[in-house]
Structure 1
Amino acid sequence: MQARVSDARAPGFWPLAFVFALFVLFMYGPMLTIFVLSFQGPEGGLTFPLRGVSLHWFHKLAEGLGTVDIGAAFRRSLLLGAVVTAFTVALSVLAGLAFRKRLRGGNALFYVTVASLIMPSIIVSLGIGLQFRLIDSGVKSALAAMGAEGLLENYGTALGLMTSALGAHLTWTLPFGLLIMFAVFNRFNPAYEEAARDLGATPWQAFRHVVLPLIGPSVVGIGMFGFTLSWDEIARTSQAIGDVNTLPLELQGLTSTVTTPAIYALGTVTTVVSFLVMGVTVGLAMWLGRRQGKALP
């Protein structure tokens, strides 16, 4: 009798389950639709019904979409995502370590860093773009004043993938990394680190052999955040990247010119890359978590 009572569904279970199913469909339905339509045959269009099943549009994507070099944009996005990930992980870990102690002006620094999360992305992009254009004006004025005509003629702009675009992406990824590290160190037990110091370990040895293995899964998670947030960023990149485009910007531009399922094939490729990164990250975090569990008594 008791088992039957415990197995009974609450009166609101099925309505809530229906709402949850609608939420999941709303979240992942568009992605699944694009995924299915990208595998259409040569006669396929942008809408259902599905006309054949093939890899035709992926081959078309590999050949190129008009004047757009998808391969170059793909490599630029990968490079930018990798560099953003490295900076996000390094700066977040260092900031987390620094904020373990009370810092003069630390509260103001924290609020300034996190403020970029609530600012409109396009405003951040416009501000960074304007800042680098002012730098361009200053550099050109200085070169003209020095009479360096050759350098002035060859000077282009400070706007670029590894300058303004990198800074714009870090304004988006660093606050997330910082918040994660704060949460990690708030529940970090310093007894392990103190024990290592008592045994004669240097600060670097204590960090490398004790602290880093313990926070390793969280550091991997920060890396995943850094890459995925950079990989599909549009608004903060649009006004700050200069003369080249990342893959999301090219994809946004192609939505108004490409009228074949090749655009869906491109969307599928970018989504698969995101899922691969998340899968590798989850696997690495689980492996580090198991190592951490074995190491602790």
Structure 2
Amino acid sequence: MSIDLSPPAHTPDQAQPVGKVRTRRPWTFYALALFFVVYLAFLYGPMICMFVLSFQGPQGALSFPMRGVSLYWFTQLFDGGGADLGGALSRSLPLAVMVMAITVVVSVAAGMAFRRRFFGSSAIFYALIVSLTAPGYLLGIGIGLMFNLLGWQPDWYSSALGAQLTWTLPFGILITFAIFGRFNPSLEEASRDLGANDWQTLRMVVLPILLPGLIAIALFGFTLSYDEFARTLQTTGQSNTVPIEIWSMTQNVTSPSIYALGTLTTALSFLVIGIALGSIVLIQRRRAKR
């Protein structure tokens, strides 16, 4: 008796193997994609135009078409033509560093304190959040008036510092709450079981684990301070920061030098953001290798 080992023939009603089935995207996908592209163009289009126009030649104007390509308007800035760039940077950068440092320290301290309930914690928290909803111009005017009533001279390192902290501290504290919400308290308990005191636990366990989040807080503090205008306008006294210097240039400068200043300040902001993000990625990679 012979046995037929050949594969059975396919009948017409059997399903044939097919390749990958390409599903058609719904029209909502293309509508949302178009909306996203339009949003990006609206957001970055003016910035790109400013970048391009800042590289015009000596006969350049404030609008297209471009008239030559050069670095003329950048050299005009550093030669003192149209803006006090050096003076503005010498105030904005130290101010941003001070705001960054205070924001990080106070935010971490507040995050440690709010891990446990204490008397008045809810009132303190809501008082911090209220400053986010208050108009920046009103806060700046109020702080400037307070300094005048007390007989103190408003300046970038005093009144402007306090005004900007009303903006950066709430953000820093909210980020800290999110960071501590993901922190495992058993790591602190293990550190104490091994004989570490509270300071050693904070310095050698808590802060290294929270370091990427602390870099994010520092980035927020620096960039929010460096770009702040509303709260700084009435509190810097006789000295301008970079955003106020740019605003003052719009009142009397009719050359592409204002675009050159905007390009430089934007490049500095992107550089700081890149350094912060690169540091976070480097820390995460080192941890993954361990």
- Return the TM-score normalized by structure 2: 0.91
8 A Cα contact 1:35 1:264, kept in partner = yes
Equivalent positions of 1:81-230 (< 5 A) are 81-136=96-151, 157-230=152-225
Which residue of structure 2 lines up, in the alignment, with residue 257 of structure 1? 252
Q: Deviations over 1:141-185 (max 9, x none)?
A: xxxxxxxxxxxxxxxx43112110100010000000000000111
Whether 1:5 aligns to 2:11 is no
Which residue of structure 2 lines up, in the alignment, with residue 148 of structure 1? none
Whether 1:53 aligns to 2:69 is yes
Deviation, 1:294, is 4.4
Counterpart of 2:160, as a letter, is A
Counterpart of 2:153, as a letter, is A
Equivalent positions of 1:62-81 (< 5 A) are 62-66=78-82, 68-81=83-96
Q: Deviations over 1:216-244 (max 9, x none)?
A: 00100000000100011111001111121
Cα distance between partner residues in 1 of 2:159 and 2:78 = 29
Counterpart of 2:167, as a letter, is W
Counterpart of 1:193, as a letter, is E
Which residue of structure 1 lines up, in the alignment, with residue 14 of structure 2? none
Counterpart of 2:142, as a letter, is G
The size of the alignment, in residue pairs, is 273
Cα distance between partner residues in 1 of 2:19 and 2:139 = 59
Runs of 4+ in 1 over 6 A off after TM superposition: none
8 A Cα contact 1:213 1:292, kept in partner = no
Match of 2:32 among 6, 9, 16: 16
Deviation, 1:292, is 3.7
Which residue of structure 2 lines up, in the alignment, with residue 39 of structure 1? 55
Deviation, 1:209, is 1.1
Counterpart of 1:36, as a letter, is V
Q: Deviations over 1:251-287 (max 9, x none)?
A: 1010121111111000000000000000000011112
Structure 2 segments unaligned to the other structure (5+ residues): 1-17
Q: Secondary structure at the match of 2:232?
A: helix
Cα distance between partner residues in 1 of 2:282 and 2:86 = 33
Q: Secondary structure at the match of 2:56?
A: coil
Cα distance between partner residues in 1 of 2:20 and 2:57 = 53
Cα distance between partner residues in 1 of 2:64 and 2:258 = 15
Whether 1:241 aligns to 2:236 is yes
Cα distance between partner residues in 2 of 1:39 and 1:218 = 37
Structure 1 segments unaligned to the other structure (5+ residues): 137-156
Deviation, 1:86, is 0.5
Which residue of structure 2 lines up, in the alignment, with residue 153 of structure 1? none
8 A Cα contact 1:165 1:237, kept in partner = yes
Deviation, 1:2, is 6.6
Which residue of structure 1 lines up, in the alignment, with residue 15 of structure 2? none
Deviation, 1:5, is 3.0
Q: Secondary structure at the match of 1:12?
A: helix
Aligned-pair identity (%): 52
8 A Cα contact 1:213 1:288, kept in partner = no
Cα distance between partner residues in 2 of 1:49 and 1:9 = 40
Q: Secondary structure at the match of 2:132?
A: coil
Deviation, 1:52, is 1.3
Counterpart of 1:31, as a letter, is M
Which residue of structure 2 lines up, in the alignment, with residue 30 of structure 1? 46
- Return the TM-score normalized by structure 1: 0.89
Cα distance between partner residues in 2 of 1:11 and 1:3 = 21
Quote the RMSD (CA, aligned, Å).
1.3
Report which of the two has the higher share of helix: 1
Cα distance between partner residues in 2 of 1:16 and 1:285 = 31
